[in-house]
Amino acid sequence: MRAMSEPSPTSPEAAFSPATPYRDVTCGDLRATDAGRSVQIAGWAHRRRDHGHLIFLDLRDRYGITQVVVDAEESPDAHAVASRVRNEFVLEITGQVARRMAGKENAELETGEIEVRAASVQILSEALTPPFYINEPDATTDESLRLKYRYLDIRRRPLLDRLLLRSALARAIRDAHHRAGFVEIETPILLKSTPEGARDFIVPSRLQPGSVYALPQSPQQLKQLLMVAGMDRYFQIARCFRDEDLRGDRQPEFTQLDLEMSFVDEQRVMDFVEAMIVDVSRAVVPDRPIQQLPFPRIDYKEALERFGSDKPDVRFGMELVDLAPVFANGSGFRVFDDALAGGGRVKAIVAPGMADASRSQIDELTEFARRFGAKGLAHVSLAADGELRSPIGKFTNVAAISAAAHAKQGDLILIVADADGDVVADVLGRLRQELGLRLGLADQNVLAYCWVYHFPMYQWDADRGSWDATHNPFSGVVPEDEKLLVTESGDPYKPSRQDPAGRARAMQYDIALNGWELGGGSVRIHKRELLERSFALQGYSLEKMHAQFGGILEAFDFGAPPHGGIAMGLDRWAALFAHQTNIREVMAFPKTQSGTDLMLESPSEPDPEQYSELGLRFVGLDAAESTSRPDAKQ
Ligand code: ASP
């Protein structure tokens, strides 16, 4: 090692190289061409095989594994140390690189043609026996152990590889944005409420007792203010916080790629985002083909009509078929006729090759449909011999249904009828997705991106007695629908369910990937008057609007450019790239399903001193209850 007073490495290459006082190269570097070279390497004892006078040590770091041979005759001291080594000890080893004997090469290791014949072995750190196998990454491991000992799980290849992939994703995102002239800007974490439809995490302030910050649900208002500031193109890989119930693809804190652009319309934002996505996908997962270029752009209503979903999985067809035209003169089956008479829908999907589905399979699908609100699930099967079989065959013309659905021999037609058309779309959309996966119709390797645009501006919130933004309270309205942003009463502060606003479409676009919502954004309202009108429809009094959004409303008085942007779930994107369904699998330190950190045990009770400094007291909880114990619930 060098003395502190010695100069720094002579060249930037040396400073940037992996060499350190403990090693010349990493455990992944050595090749046959290095044979004969004296080296120093360091890492963890991945595996140790003791053959008496020969001890084999597999030395591991994040770059790879190098086999070390310690020979009692060649280096007795090194052998004595190596006999004490256990798995996961941290070692520093010097020795000479040698080609492995013919036939002893390991094709699975990049370093598999060589081994290091040890001259010295030094133990830098001893290790307890880990709670799960590090050297058998495929061994199933209890999920809570993986979270409690996350630093050990990260030593294992699968999670390590996913974190490397995530890092490559972030890098590719940055590259693409810099190329397009975006500026990376960090926005504050201690902020004010930024509504995105979830509860806020709040942070009390010692300097302002009685006041709280809210952690950002998104940097929405700040990025819009950056557009008012003239930044033109902004992006950030932003941490967002939402206090909501956790599911497979949710965590209380998560990461978004957040971006905003000035002087744009919807097309322009989608064009950039699409090109950026293609660039990033090709850089990070070059082996995974993109299904369709340009990405399909589907109007929201059409997406629901064809796929029963606003995040359709377009890797396969199986589109919803409208059966109403078949029953123009009545179907003869009461359930269908009542649904249509009630203003509802009767629609179907065709499950290929499922004509022979057993009774219990049909029952299971019916149960599935009921779980999502259907009253039942009718079916018609077109057997391989061309015969049509169906429990509703005695009431209605199943041949006409089969023809309308373009069923082929061997197919099963599944039909949902309901007076509420949304239920029909939703249930069939979910069935479609489920069966598409079960029947292997969705190619696991393909990346099927698709846009859905022109979402409704608002949905009626009966509890609050006002409209609610379906996506983003700042979204702009499609220009030809601007005249709809009015109330029936004429008083902008008295919204009602009958308002024309319910029919207005937003300049809102979502991007879906393989049936997952990957991101969403919009072109925003950039005029104060219109934003106030929209907030009034969303149930804000002028007073409340100014208390919550006064800053941005005022900013709009100083010249706001037309602008729009999007946010994409970075965790979801990484998970989809890594073939995972839970975003925890691409996060270094995620929380459990109940929002706890099992490793560092948070959340935890504040120090009594912190209570008094902050002027806080938990009420309604006695001391024992207020201690939040991280639990192991997933
Ligand atoms: N702020 C929005 C969100 O977090 C995205 C956007 O409209 O840019 O979902």
Domain contains 630: no
Give the range of the structural domain holding residue 65, as residue numbers without chain letter: 12-125
Q: What are phi and psi of 586, to 5 degrees?
A: -120, 15
Q: How many domains, the chain?
A: 2
Separation between Cα atoms, residue 569 and residue 113, nearest integer Å = 42
Amino acid 230: pLDDT: 98
Burial of 581 (0-12, 13-18, 19+ CB in 10 A): exposed
Pairing verdict, β 378-382 and 411-418: antiparallel
Pocket test for ligand 1, best of 453, 471, 570 (most atoms within 8 A of CB): 471
Spatial neighbors of 220 by CB under 8 A, at least 6 apart, are: 194, 196, 472, 474
Domain contains 372: yes
Domain boundary among 125, 142, 167: 125
CB–CB of 486/492 below 8 Å?
Answer: yes
Long-range Cβ contact pairs of 28-33 (< 8 A, separation 24 or more):
28/61, 28/63, 28/64, 28/65, 28/66, 28/110, 28/111, 29/63, 29/64, 29/111, 30/66, 30/97, 30/111, 30/114, 30/116, 31/110, 31/111, 31/113, 31/114, 32/99, 32/113, 32/114
pLDDT digits (tens, 9 = 90+) for 49-86: 999 999 999 999 999 999 999 999 999 999 999 999 99
pLDDT digits (tens, 9 = 90+) for 149-184: 999 999 999 999 999 999 999 999 999 999 999 999
Query: What CATH number should be reported for the domain holding residue 397?
Result: 3.30.1360.30
List per-block mean pLDDT (blocks of 10 residues) for the chain, which spans 634 residues. 69 91 98 98 98 97 98 97 98 98 94 98 98 86 93 96 98 98 98 84 91 95 98 98 79 96 98 98 98 98 98 98 94 94 97 96 97 97 95 94 97 98 98 97 97 97 94 96 95 95 97 97 97 96 93 97 98 97 95 90 88 82 47 32
Instruction: For the chain, give the percent of residues with pLDDT over 90.
Output: 87
Tokens of 421: 């058309």
Report the candidate in 621, 618, 584 with the shortest Cα–Cα distance to residue 599: 584
Domain contains 393: yes
Alpha helix locations (H) across 372-514? 398-404, 421-438
Helix-then-strand count for the chain, H and E: 17, 22
Ligand 1 nearest-atom number relative to CA 220:
1
**Rounded to the nearest whole angstrom, what is the distance from the C-alpha of residue 203 to the centroid of ligand 1?**
22
**Rounded to the nearest whole angstrom, what is the distance from the C-alpha of residue 220 to the centroid of ligand 1?**
6
Global pTM value: 0.93
CA distances from 465 to 252, 484, 540 (A): 29, 18, 11
Amino acid 618: pLDDT: 80
Residues with CB under 6 Å of ligand 1 are 196, 218, 220, 472, 520-522, 565-567
Tell me the one-letter amino acid at 112.
G
Ligand 1 nearest-atom number relative to CA 194:
1
Spatial neighbors of 179 by CB under 8 A, at least 6 apart, are: none
CB–CB of 258/223 below 8 Å?
Answer: yes
**Rounded to the nearest whole angstrom, what is the distance from the C-alpha of residue 251 to the centroid of ligand 1?**
17
Amino acid 248: pLDDT: 62
Domain contains 599: no
Domain boundary among 402, 418, 441: 441
pLDDT digits (tens, 9 = 90+) for 322-369: 999 999 889 899 999 999 999 999 999 999 999 999 999 999 999 999
Separation between Cα atoms, residue 245 and residue 591, nearest integer Å = 12
- Name the β-bridge partners of 510: 452, 520
Domain contains 87: yes
Report the candidate in 504, 392, 401, 415 with the shortest Cα–Cα distance to residue 458: 504
Query: Whose CA is closest to atom 3 on ligand 1?
Result: 567
Report the candidate in 135, 103, 233, 231 with the shortest Cα–Cα distance to residue 178: 233
Provide the 8-state DSSP code for 381: E
Coil/strand/helix, residue 450: strand
* Beta strand spans in 100-147 (E): 114-125
Provide the 8-state DSSP code for 325: G
Domain contains 143: no
Domain contains 422: yes
Query: Whose CA is closest to atom 4 on ligand 1?
Result: 218
Percent of the chain as helix, strand, coil, to the nearest 5: 30, 25, 45
Query: Whose CA is closest to atom 8 on ligand 1?
Result: 566
DSSP string, 219-247: SHHHHHHHHHTT--EEEEEEEEE-BS---
Q: What are phi and psi of 608, to 5 degrees?
A: -55, -35
Ligand 1 nearest-atom number relative to CA 258:
8
Report the candidate in 604, 589, 19 with the shortest Cα–Cα distance to residue 253: 589
Pocket test for ligand 1, best of 200, 249, 256 (most atoms within 8 A of CB): 256
**Rounded to the nearest whole angstrom, what is the distance from the C-alpha of residue 479 to the centroid of ligand 1?**
20
Amino acid 631: pLDDT: 36
Domain boundary among 402, 417, 441: 441
Amino acid 634: pLDDT: 29
Separation between Cα atoms, residue 448 and residue 437, nearest integer Å = 14
Separation between Cα atoms, residue 450 and residue 302, nearest integer Å = 13
Pairing verdict, β 466-469 and 563-569: unpaired
CA 392, chain centre distance (Å): 42
Query: Whose CA is closest to atom 1 on ligand 1?
Result: 220
DSSP string, 502-531: GGPBBSEEEEEETTEEEEEEEEBP-SHHHH
Pocket test for ligand 1, best of 191, 200, 220 (most atoms within 8 A of CB): 220
Domain contains 132: no
Ligand 1 nearest-atom number relative to CA 471:
9
Query: What CATH number should be reported for the domain holding residue 25?
Result: 2.40.50.140
Ligand 1 nearest-atom number relative to CA 260:
8
Ligand 1 nearest-atom number relative to CA 219:
1
Ligand 1 nearest-atom number relative to CA 256:
4
pLDDT digits (tens, 9 = 90+) for 406-456: 999 999 999 999 999 999 999 999 999 999 999 999 999 999 999 999 999
Separation between Cα atoms, residue 609 and residue 603, nearest integer Å = 17
Report the candidate in 333, 343, 423 with the shortest Cα–Cα distance to residue 378: 333
**Rounded to the nearest whole angstrom, what is the distance from the C-alpha of residue 521 to the centroid of ligand 1?**
5
Separation between Cα atoms, residue 251 and residue 313, nearest integer Å = 23
**Rounded to the nearest whole angstrom, what is the distance from the C-alpha of residue 561 to the centroid of ligand 1?**
18
Separation between Cα atoms, residue 113 and residue 107, nearest integer Å = 8
